[in-house]
Amino acid sequence: MLDGTMTAVPRQRFGVADVRDVADAHIRAMTTPAAAGQRFLVLADGPTISWLILAQILRDRLGPLAGRVPTVEAPGSEPPDLVIHNERAKRGLGWQPRAAVTTIAETAESLRDLGLLAAAPG
């Protein structure tokens, strides 16, 4: 999305997981005896997002560095909303996820700070 090779984003909805939250949940699961043998969803709270929303977050947070991020969705029907239940992880592990917008923005900002994003042509 950031390098301009994607001209339109797919029509798809998905949940977002921050790798820091996944690591935190793993540690909590390893140190919580009642978690043995259970599975946990460790996705951000709230509704799922679309590629178009993700693209907007990138444009809002990166400014000119996101100048090549697509602004349109591919043709097709609107995908259904997904329902994500992360209550078991929150209740059983005492775990709290970051917001999806935080994960997306901080990931992009980290790429920028590491010098891994090329500037958009001016």
pLDDT tens-place string over residues 20-68 = 999 999 999 999 999 999 999 999 998 899 999 999 999 999 999 999 9
Q: Are 98 and 18 in contact (CB under 8 A)?
A: yes
List strand residue ranges (DSSP E) for the chain, in order. Answer: 13-14, 49-50
Instruction: Give the separation between CA 99 and CA 4, rounded to whole angstroms.
Output: 26
DSSP 121: P
Q: Are 61 and 108 in contact (CB under 8 A)?
A: yes
- Portion of the chain with pLDDT greater than 90, in percent: 81
To the question of pTM greater than 0.85 for the whole model, the response is yes
- Encoded tokens for 92: 């059983």
